[in-house]
Structure 1
Amino acid sequence: MNAAVRNAIRQFVKNDLTWTILKPIVKVSEFLTYQREVATAVPSVDPDKRVFEDLIGTPVVKYGPLTGLKYPSFTSYGSSIYPKIIGSYEAEIAPVVEQIIANGYSEILDIGCAEGYYANGLALKSPGSKVYAYDTDEQARTFCTEMAELNGVSDRVSVSGTCTAEMLAKFPFTGKGLIFCDCEGYEKHLFNKNNVDNLTNCDLLIETHDFIDITISGYIEDLFKHTHDIEVIRSLDDITKAKTYGFAEGKGLNIVQREKLYHEGRPHIMEWYWLKTKGRK
């Protein structure tokens, strides 16, 4: 491009009115270019995938409170599969999950269930509980249903789409209930003053997403502080997990491979709010 043409273009786009018209077109062009690159890219295969799956063997949870949970395949929705099969996934809340299993809830609501790691795992380990699993992803719901059948708990796992605040206000708990919630910031809309009365005899484990809205955790704490005892549990970053986790499957791997194996991909340190009802004796 010669200097005269280049200068003419610069003068053209420097005009505010011209740029107001052109900018959306440029943005659309950038977006379409990116989508074309994605659509035409040849999928790459991580060479460590075979290494990890050979080390792990069959996709059955190896360790932790959900040991023995069977997966139809090495597939996960919205999170990494290998930590789930190993049992390192969200190990920070493993003691709480053990409490949940021991408590024997009448109903367990898993809101944001993905492929059903917790929904089916809790159904498997808590045979007296009826589990209601909710997710907006149709493929995840299909996989969750398949996993329930594989683990012999399909008669106690009900899989549905969106759970709303209005549904929580009217949910017919028959005894002591549990709500297990990981819904990517939607928790601020899901729990409110109109349904909190129906949850006073429930325990809740809510993963808060302050990186989406920094007011979420404070909102949850204010909403439940009069009816529930509150414990806050913080997540570990993936680097710490790679350096400190001692699961057998990670031994013999280098630090880069261990970070991949235990990788959960949280964008920031996260918090779980473990809310235990003050009303239940």
Structure 2
Amino acid sequence: MKKLVKKLAEITARNPASWAVLNHSVIKFSLFVDYYHWKQFRKNLLNSALETTIPDLTVRHGPFAGVQYPSSQAVGSALFPKLLGSYETELHPIICGTVLKTDYSEVIDVGCAEGYYAVGLLTRHPNTIVHAFDTEPRALEMCRKMAEINRVSDRLRLGAMCTAETLAEFPFTGKALIMSDCEGYEKELFTDKNRSTLKEHDLLVEVHDGHAPNVSDYLKDLFRSTHQIHSIEPISDHKKAIIYQYPELSSFSFDERKILLAEHRTNCTGWLFLQSQFNR
């Protein structure tokens, strides 16, 4: 075996092309090892932070402080920012200033994931029915469990697919809020088919121009005549680690806070809050 290795080394040393291939492979393997170690460090940090700062899985801050998670899992997003209450802080002025002060008859949450908004809004709106949609069965099951543990399951309705027709034909009983986080499906969800139906309702839409180019402009044009348009820009994960001051983070370094607060927004270009100009 040693002779074989020595022979291969001699051949490689005499052949520049072979050396280039070997060198490239070593670099790639080194990068893989570094990435693996970083993933392990990140996983260990997140687990440790949860155990030491939020062991009871209860949201600490923000508009949904006090909401209980049934398990240490989230669907399609980072768990720690949700439990800390820093998740989508950009929306807190809209949530606290308008959404929580409006008596919505229904909330439709398209892309509800494990129920952060669906259940959170149920705990704040005692007379509201929330219709939560997600195409992932695991998300719906987790949303159901979260509603149960927070004792609001009697006002939660679950569904798999919400389409433009679903919204056009929905039997609204009063002023409603439609929330959407559906990774580029916005153009298919909001169309001329339901624009007139939605003119009396508020919409909070996470826009993904990275998935659906120019979807932000599309939505603005679609609802310009019926809604006041508020654009909300995302805050970078780097900036969050600088400006977010939560007592739970006081013992962590800057680099650790970047990992803990990260929401990993790549294709999200922000949000649109479309506020109806009509009174129902």
> TM-score, with normalisation over the residues of structure 2?
0.84
Within 5 Å, which residues of 2 pair with 1:187-198? 187-198=186-197
CA drift at 1:268:
5.1
Q: Which residue of 2 aligns with 1:244?
A: 243
For 1:144, the equivalent position in structure 2 comes to 143
- The answer (yes or no) to whether the contact 1:234–1:269 under 8 Å persists in 2 is no
CA contact (8 A) 1:62 1:86 kept: yes
Give the superposition deviation at 1:271: 1.5
Question: What does residue range 70-149 of structure 1 map to in structure 2 within 5 Å?
Answer: 70-98=68-96, 99-149=98-148
SS at match of 1:104: coil
On the 8 A contact 2:57/2:69 being kept in 1, the answer is: yes
Task: Kindly provide the amino acid, as one letter, of the partner of residue 55 in structure 1.
Answer: T
Give, as a single letter, the amino acid of the residue that structure 2 aligns with 1:68: G
Give 1:190 shift: 0.4
* CA–CA separation in structure 2 for the residues paired with 1:269 and 1:161: 22
Alignment partner of 2:49 out of 26, 38, 52: 52
What residue number does 1:171 align with? 170
Shift of 1:50: 3.4
Q: Deviations over 1:221-241 (max 9, x none)?
A: 000000001010001010000
Cα distance in 2 between the residues matched to 1:50 and 1:65: 24
Deviating above 4 A after TM superposition, structure 1's stretches of 4 or more consecutive aligned residues are: none
In the alignment, which residue of structure 1 is the partner of 2:29?
A: none
Deviation at 1:44, TM superposition (A): 4.6
**AA matched with 2:102:** N
Matched to 2:44, the amino acid is P
Deviation at 1:49, TM superposition (A): 2.7
Cα RMSD (Å) = 2.1
Structure 2 match to 1:225: 224
Any idea what SS the aligned residue of 1:109 has? strand
Identify unmatched segments of 5+ residues in structure 1: 3-36
Give the structure-1-normalised TM-score: 0.83
Q: Does the C-alpha gap of structure 1 residues 263 and 103 become closer, same or farther in structure 2, counting only changes over 3 Å? A: same
Q: What SS is found at the alignment partner of 1:229?
A: strand
1:34-53 matched pairs, under 5 angstroms: 44=40, 46-53=43-50
